[in-house]
Amino acid sequence: MSKQDGSSRQVTTGPVDDSATPILHVDMDAFFVSVELLRRPELRGKPVLVGGTAGRGVVAAASYEARRFGVNSAMPMSVALQRCPNAIVLRGDHRRYSEYSERVMAIFRELTPLVEPLSIDEAFLDVSGARRLHGSPAEIAWTIRRRVHDETGLTCSVGVAASKYVAKVASSRAKPDGMLVVPAAETVAFLHPLPVSALWGVGRVTEQSLLKLGLRTVGDVAEMPVDALARAVGPALAAQLSRLANGVDARDVETRRVEKSIGHETTFHHDLVEHADIARELLRLATDVGVRLRRAGVLARTVTLKLRYGDFTTVTRSRTLAEPTDVARRIYEEALVPLADLVGDGRRVRLIGVRAEHLRPAGDGAPLWDPDEEWRDAERTVDEVVRRFGRGAVRPAALVRPAAESAAPTVRDGGDEETPSGPRSFW
């Protein structure tokens, strides 16, 4: 049995058929903010934001009190403070968040070995093999909520369903601090009244395309012939949306998560115009991406450049490599090719990003000819120096400049400001 309050929140309050619902989606409630409130309890009940406080900082998390003003994560902090002038802004402590995340994930793994973390604050669990020890899926969900609160002081919301997609929708409906079980036989009835934005893969642009077709609910999408849907959103997405709208999601919980891409991006405190300054930041990002590729033991077949201009227009350009790589120099040179056509003529750049995609394990065969062999050896040597002496010990010569000549400070990956240092250089 479930009930819905005056908002869109929906929770299970009594006995319910969970016999065919082995998938749980657990999502921590306003995680970063909640961790901060553990040491600042006097801020409970107040609008609190966690994120960058200077220049073009962004909101990393917002308390539910702040969300009532239309504030949400990834919003520029300047906009958030316009909507909620009384908000209290706290700078994040990612080490502390990681510690709490590890404690929460450990609770999950004590109940089932089938845990698939999605991010620092959410995970899928398959509890089909845990019934004998820990009870039914609903009972396990109650246990998780109780243990997380008792052992960390935090709250979480849990969706229980027959598939990953429906479980994730259910946890979002139960927020904050609730649990919602969707019996397998009621999956379609649960999904069909929801807005099209509830479908996985529907962002703002796709939502507008669906609305133009008169499709406002998940049920509308389920009734639309796939061929007709494909003309609006393309065949691949149309097939996916049709399946999800009909409650079909055959994906298993994957305990070993393989990254599909690795990337970094930077939002500048002040727009950049000069090609040299923009290229220098691109080099910095490519260096970070290369390090992460080698650390993960994967190679990338595609390099994607992302630019956002001062008017918030965003463009991306991708290049497919002849041979997959984990070499930062190759990633930089490939991303540099389209950059020439995207900057200049006074265009002001607000954000730049580089992403390595179409990843594969580094040991899956060796190319007959490796054009990056020398650079790869040099970068692996740098990796070892950094491992022994710390980040910043060595970096490309182009990134080593006197402080007075350095470009405007940047906010990198939505968080930390870089500070000048005196590293050794290469390239």
- The domains found in the chain, sorted by start residue, are 31-94 (3.40.1170.60), 192-245 (1.10.150.20), 261-426 (3.30.1490.100)
Q: Give the pLDDT confidence of 205-248 residue by residue, as tens digits.
A: 889 989 999 999 999 999 999 999 998 888 888 999 999 999 99
Q: What is the Rg, in whole angstroms, of the alpha carbon atoms belonging to the chain?
A: 24
Q: Is 122 annotated in the active site?
A: yes
Pairing of strands 156-161, 23-28: antiparallel
Render pLDDT for 55-94 as a digit per residue (tens, 0 to 9): 567 888 999 999 999 998 878 888 999 999 999 999 888 8
Output the DSSP codes for 406-427. ----EEETTSPBP-----EEE-
Q: Please state, in angstroms and rounded to a whole number, the distance separating the CA atoms of residues 94 and 140.
A: 29
Longest dimension (CA), the chain: 68
Segment (H or E) for 192: none
Structure tokens at 247: 């409650």
pLDDT at 7: 55
Per-residue confidence (pLDDT) for residue 408, from 0 to 100: 41
Query: How far apart (Å, rounded) are the C-alpha atoms in residues 170 and 3?
Result: 13
**Is 27 labeled as ligand-binding?**
yes
Q: Give the alpha-carbon dihedral of 282, 283, 288, 294, to 10 degrees.
A: 120
How many angstroms separate the CA atoms of 4 and 223, rounded? Answer: 26
Do 303 and 354 meet the contact criterion of CB atoms below 8 Å apart? Answer: yes
| Distance between CA atoms of residues 305 and 317, nearest Å | 5
If one counts every other C-beta atom within 10 angstroms of the C-beta of residue 385, the result is 13
Residue numbers of the chain with a pLDDT score lower than 70: 1-7, 53-56, 257-259, 363-380, 382-427
The whole-number pLDDT of residue 36 equals 96
Return all residues near 246 (Cβ < 8 A) that are at least 6 apart: 188, 222
Q: Which of 65, 122, 334, 379 is catalytic?
A: 122
Residue 416: predicted pLDDT: 31
pTM: 0.67
Residue 341 assigned ligand-binding role: no
The pLDDT value recorded for residue 236 is 84
| CA atoms lying within 13 Å on the CB side of residue 43 | 22
